[in-house]
A and B are shown apart, each in its own frame.
Chain A
Amino acid sequence: MKRFSTLLGFELKKIARGRVAVASLALCAALLFALTLISEMVARPEGRGARTLTGRAVDDGFVAEVADAAARAGGLTAVPPESPYCQAARWMNRMLGNSVSIADVSGDVAPDMLTAGALYAARDGVMETLYDTFGLRQDERDWWAARERRIERPYVWADSRAAGAIKADSSAVTALMCLLMGVCLAGTYADERRRRTDAMVLCAPHGRGVLWKVKFCAGEIWALAVGTALLAAAALPHILLNGLRGLDGAWQLVTPFSAYPHGIGTMLLIYLALYGLICLLTGAAVMALSVWLQNAMAVTGIVGAMVTADLFISVPARLRVLSQMRYLTPIQIMINSAMTDPRLILLFGRYVTPLQAAAMLYAAATMALYWLTGIGYKRLRAG
């Protein structure tokens, strides 16, 4: 075990002192931070005064105040950024005007339609349409209805700007993290041959035994570090300028058409855990490719192609199994979560949500890749 930790230190040093790895990480993190900061600075007035509404129930009185502000401004999307009602008006606009495609509508909703009842009824209507579009079976609808009943109404308003922004950025951060992993970890196993150190390593007692596990462990630690650095770079500007508030608010304030009965803080933690698993999975996949292909450039290319495919391939919802599998891929699960795929997966006689299924799938795939990496390493001979 002592040798494991000593070797782990050396393997981490190899990765962390790689110029390309560190330079690309620093560049990506700096770029993310700068872009997020700029967008936050531009959008910041939108939230000015929004905190004064925190803690109020989204009932008829609250809705009437937002309607007044909207009437004065000429529509829900016209409420000026400096108004305390700006954030609430935009959220209500999404609740009332969103189509099933979940694209934000640019058209406005007449302020006189605005009552709490109309607001919640509109959301329920969209949810039903969403369930139809995804072809949900009756038992799945019942399952979600039971979760819906646990969400308290009226919602309690909370300033959720930072949480919403972090959630909105998460898919881009995930895509960038995957690409970066393809750069940083592609040489974990392949570089020994390229550097012609493989013969010396493989004839050492621990060179064949424990070393592949040490390298895998170092790679996974680095994967988590890269993931954390990128997430922090993207999230810090939101948190620093808005404060991470409203964590006890309903998740529906961030994602109106989600039926998860959890608070914003809990859902952020769930996504954070999922993101951590994605980091580990990506790291494991890159390292498995590295040991089997023994060519770092090829590994980086394959990872780039996979990320591109994950971003652009589309499968229609009517092809249920295929499209469910599609939505379980790492970048998609983060994008998809903005609208929440309601299709459940039957596992050992119990329904699990896509988020639960993805977590189990990623953990199992990471373990399988660990095993494959071991097999690949044991087959290695010096080049």
Chain B
Amino acid sequence: MILRADRLTKQYRNRIAVDRVSFELKEGVTGLLGANGAGKTTLMRMLTGVLDPTGGEVAADGIPVASEAYRALLGYLPQDFGYYPEFTVWDFVMYFAALKGLDRPTARRRTEALLDRVGLTDAAGRRMKTLSGGMRQRAGIAQALVNDPRILILDEPTAGLDPGERVRFRNLIRELGRHSIVLFSTHIVSDVEHIADQVMMMNAGRLIWRGRWDESDGSLEDFYMKAFGEDAAHEAVFDAVGL
């Protein structure tokens, strides 16, 4: 499968949030790096179809982003997402399973497996509002994966996770990247370094660098600091220590 973005642009009145971004993604993990306001979230929202672009197109194997067929391929974890306080964790994942068209037995099976995978089996009966931030994040990850998506878009998925959870989640993403297109954004350069097959860097709405990164290329963090300057470096440090 190929996810293609062609000259994708989003303009808000006098500000261009995403400026003619084009790329093609295949199965594997792609890390999207960029400072705050670089346009990562706007780009991801256009890739999921929840935000209409001002210009350009998105399609997966020719299936346009606005179609139901495209949404059937999609899993999305937004940054700072909400929840239904009256739902239990089980209800929350089952609800999205129903929204994604899974029949009840499949939804049950998938929910059970995913809650186990994200370590929420014991919390399945707990109301969403009683969960910690990290547990909510894991429930969000479970809903994104419930339809076994071919395209998985994760906006800051490791935010709020403790170090142990982050390691576990990185492994999960790496595994998913074997058969799906995974695009995840983060401030944490080490997350990208550990699991991404390729890296995209955005600045001021533009894609400024895209390619494969391996250890022989040196430190991605050094490269990132050079590319984005001191501000981004400070942000990266703050994010890494959880501030």
- Which A residues are within 8 Å of any B CB, using their own CB? 2-3, 6-7, 10, 13-14, 17-18, 194-209, 211, 381-382
Q: In the complex, what residues of A have CB within 8 A of residue B98's CB? A: 3, 6-7, 10, 206
* Measured CA separation A10–B144 after assembly (Å): 18
Minimum C-beta distance from A66 to chain B (A): 58
A206-B99, A207-B71 known; A18+B50 contact, CB < 8 A: no
Q: In the complex, what residues of A have CB within 8 A of residue B87's CB? A: 10, 13-14
Query: On chain B, which size bracket covers the interface?
Result: 20 to 34
Q: Out of A6, A14, A205, A208, which one reaches B84, CB within 8 Å?
A: A14
* Measured CA separation A204–B93 after assembly (Å): 13
A205-B100, A206-B100 known; A196+B81 contact, CB < 8 A: yes
* Measured CA separation A196–B84 after assembly (Å): 10
Q: In the complex, what residues of B have CB within 8 A of residue A202's CB? A: 49-50
* Measured CA separation A18–B68 after assembly (Å): 30
Q: Do A199 and B78 touch (CB < 8 A)? A: yes
Q: Do A3 and B51 touch (CB < 8 A)? A: no
* Measured CA separation A382–B10 after assembly (Å): 14
Q: In the complex, what residues of A have CB within 8 A of residue B48's CB? A: 199, 203
**Does B145 touch A at the CB level, under 8 Å?**
no
Q: In the complex, what residues of B have CB within 8 A of residue A211's CB? A: 99
Q: Do A203 and B84 touch (CB < 8 A)? A: no
Q: In the complex, what residues of B have CB within 8 A of residue A209's CB? A: 68
Q: Out of A13, A195, A204, A381, which one reaches B83, CB within 8 Å?
A: A195
Most buried by A among B78, B143, B144: B78
Q: In the complex, what residues of A have CB within 8 A of residue B103's CB? A: 2-3
Q: In the complex, what residues of A have CB within 8 A of residue B16's CB? A: none
Minimum C-beta distance from B118 to chain A (A): 16
Q: Do A6 and B104 touch (CB < 8 A)? A: yes
**Does B231 touch A at the CB level, under 8 Å?**
no
A2-B103, A204-B99 known; A381+B81 contact, CB < 8 A: no
Instruction: List residues 46-102 of chain B with CB under 8 A from any CB of chain A.
Output: 48-52, 68, 71-72, 74, 76-78, 80-84, 86-87, 91, 94-96, 98-101
**Does B45 touch A at the CB level, under 8 Å?**
yes
* Measured CA separation A203–B99 after assembly (Å): 9
Q: Do B45 and A204 touch (CB < 8 A)? A: no
Q: In the complex, what residues of B have CB within 8 A of residue A197's CB? A: 81-84
Q: In the complex, what residues of A have CB within 8 A of residue B99's CB? A: 7, 201, 204-207, 211
* Measured CA separation A194–B74 after assembly (Å): 23
Q: Do B71 and A200 touch (CB < 8 A)? A: no
What 7 pairs between A and B have smallest CB-CB spacing? A196-B82, A17-B86, A195-B82, A204-B99, A382-B50, A203-B48, A6-B98
Q: Do B81 and A205 touch (CB < 8 A)? A: no
Minimum C-beta distance from B141 to chain A (A): 12
Q: In the complex, what residues of B have CB within 8 A of residue A208's CB? A: 68, 71
Q: Do A205 and B72 touch (CB < 8 A)? A: yes
Residue of chain A at shortest CB distance from B65: A203
Q: Out of B50, B82, B84, B104, which one reaches A381, CB within 8 Å?
A: B50
Q: Do A204 and B82 touch (CB < 8 A)? A: no
